[in-house]
Structure 1
Amino acid sequence: MIDLAPHVPPGAGIWWGQAGAEPTPLVHALLDQIGELGPHRAFCGLTWDQRLTRELPPELSLVSYGALGELRRVSRAGRLAVVPCHYSALPAMFADRALPCDVGFVQVSPPDSKGLCSLGVGADYAADAVAHTPVLIAEINHRMPATTGTDRIPLSRFAATVETDRPLAEAPAKAPDEAESAIARHVAELIEDGDTLQMGVGSLPAAVLDCLAGHSDLGFHSGMISDGVLRLVEKGVLTGARKEIDNGLIVTGAALGTAELYDRLPDLPVRFRPASYTHSPAVLSRLGSLVSVNSAIEVDLTGQVGAEVRRGVYIGAVGGQADFTRAASLTGARSIITVRARSGTHSTIVPALHGGVVTTSRSDVDVVVTEYGAAHLRGCDLAERARRLIAIAAPEHREALSKGAHP
């Protein structure tokens, strides 16, 4: 067990890496020692660590860019502070010290012959935060692959280290259901050969990727990659041959998948880049072939997207959705929003967003897809948008939506 007291001053702001790159032993050390260390504020992203939901000490205040993974339970318990921001804004927030960054916890690969460590499967915001963090503490995991695309960190930069040899955390796997499979088929029809894709992870994005097996020369530029990307590479579909930049390369900030994906990364044409690159408007504007595919909790009849709040509880994030939808719509090929037509017995196509929170502007949405079809919104006035969205709503809600539509 590492003693954090010599390295974590009283009241210091702490951050750590997310998902498969989360330095779990260091986080658990913090949870174990926080009573002696005193109150601290910490920033983390997507986490699968259930200790944060079962044993979150009162001395530790959590802040994040959204309520993802186990943070949804922390949010429901009223213990999560959410900073609503575009993912592209995180690098500047760390630079301005608007987010906790006195101490950083990272999980890295073993040092190479020059004593340099890689951030492995989790460059994303960590790669940007490192430069603005005086004290870094590292978990050196002998199973973390050394990846390329981001500057490596000298071993001498770490104030303290712990060595582990543990499997990387794997993304929870869930097979797509009937609705998600139908949505995936509709989305695949909107993808053209040579497009450069951005999408998240989960059962629906995985279903979309599997529906693209018959395409050719697709590219990928996204904040995250999953096992579905690996499958398309193996089938010769994902070549990146027509990408305007990073030709032939898959560009991402993080890998969220299984051990198979993590083990294969050194053999794949993948470059792990910081959020200041993957989500940069200047970079994305150079991808004329960009197609963004993102998910919603609800969509109103004008095309506004809510992806953060459900029934008054924060369960999502702005994340990279706004960054990529705007770029795909303005300077890329097209922006696509997917949403299941129902949440329980309720319609997700609504006259007005129940959460009152607009994640993505209606002006940045080209197509909305449910299991009932695709509503093409580009160039449509408000009345036509409403008609097209009602046509892809759950059938039992269409009459009520028509009565609530804008005149």
Structure 2
Amino acid sequence: MLDLRPHIRPRDGVWWSQAGAEATPLVDALLDQVADIGPVRAFCGLSFNRRLREVPAELTLTSYGAMGELRKARGLQVVPAHYSVLPRLFAERILPGDVGLVQVAPPGPDGVCSLGIGVDYAADAVRHSRVLIGEINHRMPATVGTPGIPLERFAATVETDRPVPEAPDRAPDAVDGAIAARVAELVEDGDTVQMGVGALPTAIMDGLAGHRDLGFHSGMLTDGVLRLVEKGVLTGRRKEIDEGLLVTGTAIGSAELYARLGELPVVFRPASYTHDPGVLARLRRLVAINSAIEVDLSGQVGSEVAGGRYLGGIGGQADFSGAAVRTGARSVIALRSTAGGASTVVPVLSGPVSTARADVDVVVTEHGTAWLRGCPPADRGARLVAVAAPEHREDLERSLREGT
């Protein structure tokens, strides 16, 4: 195990890459040694590491949301921030950034290591870190689009030969398919799509198989993208910028996806590019397709909290939804009409507003499509009730009448 004590000081801020790019051996070493190091602040995004459910008292864990195993992490501190703001928070030393733990591909002939499938916020954080410690994983694919890290930049490294973690997820079901069919009707040939990760986004991607010349610009790239490229759907020929290219910050998917990234016309760019408002404003046919935990009867979206627990985060939803409404084609919120038997269309959100009602054009469930663009408050509730689960509509209509 690598001794981190020469490199991490008490009260340092430590960050590490997320999802499949998480430098798990280095994170585990930190968890084992932090009691000897002293108090440390840490930041990470989506994590598959179960050890983060219970962290030592000396480690204060921060994230932009509760994703993956962080949903069960005790004492997690969530920073409510748009994903586009993360680079600035690292630059201003607000987020922990003294030491970076990164998983990289082996160095090329030039001695430079690619950040592989995890460019996103990592590429921005690297620039502001005093110390970098690298896990050089011989199975991490090298990617293009962002400068890598020279080997001499690392204060210490460990070499591994482990599979890049795949994204755990359930397969889409009939409800997901019904929603996907409705969303597909909202996407036109030549549009540029943005989408997240999960069973519903997977179904939506598969539902776009009949379209032509779609573009892709998103924070995350999944197996659904690979399938659409194979079908000749994602050509990017009509994109206003990055013509012919798939633009993303991270890949989250299967071993096959990681192995075949080299076959795709994909560039991995940092969050300071993928989520930048100025960049997104140039995508005039951007269709932002995002999920939610709840939508209230005015069209406000909650994607962070349910039942008093953090289950998600703002992430890039507001960045892309806002851009799609202002300068793109349309902003779509797609969600199942129920979760655990409860309605996801609610009179009042149970948590904070993640995306403002003005940044939502359409809400889609398996029961219908509610058009909200240009819709006054007096009509919004009725349109949203119409796409709610039938067994919950009477209660929602009562809430509308009583103003509760």
Cα distance per residue 1:195-221 (max 9 Å; x no partner): 100000111100001111111101100
Q: TM-score, normalised by structure 1?
A: 0.97
| Counterpart check, 1:139 vs 2:135 | yes
- Structure 1 residue aligned with 2:50: 50
**Counterpart position of 2:374:** 379
Query: Matches of 2:136 and 2:370 in 1, distance apart?
Result: 48
Alpha-carbon contact 2:196-2:219 (below 8 Å) kept = yes
Measure how far apart 1:58 and its partner are. Answer: 1.5
The answer on 1:23 being equivalent to 2:23 is yes
Alpha-carbon deviation of 1:305? 0.3
- Residue 94 of structure 1 deviates from its aligned partner by 0.2
Which residue of structure 2 lines up, in the alignment, with residue 9 of structure 1?
9
Letter in 1 for 2:12: A
Match of 1:325 among 314, 321, 328: 321
1 CA distance for matches of 2:102 and 2:20? 11
Q: Measure, in 2, the Cα distance between the counterparts of 1:15 and 1:100.
A: 6
**Alpha-carbon separation, structure 1, partners of 2:25 and 2:347:** 47
Does 2:367 align with 1:368? no
Shift of 1:268: 0.8
Letter matched to residue 388 of structure 1:
R
Superposed displacement of residue 173, structure 1: 2.9
Looking at structure 1, the residues matched to 169 and 249 of structure 2 have their Cα atoms a distance apart, in angstroms, of 20
User: What does 1:258-277 correspond to in 2, within 5 Å?
Assistant: 258-277=254-273
Match of residue 250 from structure 1: 246
Structure 1 residue runs of 5 or longer lacking an equivalent are: none
1:112 matched residue in structure 2: 108
Say if 2:285 is the partner of 1:286: no
In 2, Cα distance between equivalents of 1:252 and 1:226: 10
CA distance in 1, matches of 2:163, 2:7: 27
Shift of 1:129: 0.3
**Aligned match of 1:199:** 195
CA distance in 1, matches of 2:101, 2:327: 37
Deviations 1:34-60 (A, max 9, x none): 12112211000000111111x421211
Give me the CA root mean square deviation.
Answer: 0.9
Helix, strand or coil for the counterpart of 1:292? strand
What residue is the counterpart of 2:121 in the other structure? 125
Give me the whole-angstrom Cα distance separating, in 2, the residues matched to 1:220 and 1:146.
20
Q: Could you tell me how far 1:399 is from its partner in structure 2?
A: 1.5
Gaps of 5+ in 2: none
Paired residues of 2:63 and 2:77 also in contact (CA < 8 A): yes
The answer to whether 1:358 aligns with 2:353 is yes
SS at the partner of 1:62? Answer: strand
What is the CA distance between 1:271 and its match in structure 2?
A: 0.3
Q: How far 1:177 moved relative to its partner?
A: 2.2
Give CA-to-partner distance per residue, 1:90-126, whole Å, 9 cap, x none: 0000000000011000011111111111000000000
1:338 to 320, 334, 339: 334
Q: Distance in 1 between matches of 2:378 and 2:241?
A: 38
Distance 2:80 2:217 in 1: 23
Q: Distance in 1 between matches of 2:98 and 2:158?
A: 19
Partner of 1:84: 80
Which structure 1 residue ranges, 4+ long, deviate > 4 Å from structure 2? none
1:71 aligns with 2:70: yes
**What is the distance in 2 between the residues matched to 1:147 and 1:269?**
11
- Name the CA distance, whole Å, in 2 between partners of 1:383 and 1:400: 18
CA distance in 2, matches of 1:106, 1:354: 36
Q: Is the 8 A contact 2:9 2:38 kept in 1?
A: no
The one-character-per-residue Cα deviations of 1:148-205 (angstroms, maximum 9, x if unpaired) are 1111111110000001111101001311122212111111111111110000011110
Q: Distance in 1 between matches of 2:10 and 2:394?
A: 59
Structure 1 Cα separation of the partners of residues 15 and 203 of structure 2: 33
Q: Does residue 315 of the first structure (1) align with residue 311 of the second (2)?
A: yes
Partner AA of 1:233 in structure 2: V
- For 1:40, the equivalent position in structure 2 comes to 40
2:291–2:303 Cα contact (<8 Å) kept:
yes
3-state SS, counterpart of residue 190 of structure 1: coil
Instruction: Note the 1:108-187 alignment, pairs <5 A.
Output: 108-187=104-183
Q: Deviations over 1:277-302 (max 9, x none)?
A: 00000000000010001011111111
Structure 2 CA distance, aligned partners of 1:70 and 1:345?
24
- Partners of 1:67 and 1:195 lie apart in 2 by 31
Offset from partner CA, 1:214-251 (integer Å, 9 cap, x none): 11101100000100000000110110011000000000
Which residue matches 2:212?
216
The residue type equivalent to 1:393 in the other structure is A
Q: Distance in 2 between matches of 1:233 and 1:105?
A: 33
Instruction: Kindly provide the amino acid, as one letter, of the partner of residue 185 in structure 2.
Output: E
Instruction: Report how many aligned residue pairs link the two structures.
Output: 402
Q: CA deviation at 1:345?
A: 2.4
Match of 2:231 among 228, 231, 235: 235
- The one-letter code matched in structure 1 to 2:105 is S
Percent identical among aligned pairs is: 67
> Which SS does the other structure have where 1:358 is aligned?
coil
- Return the alpha-carbon distance in structure 1 between the equivalents of residues 193 and 400 of structure 2: 33
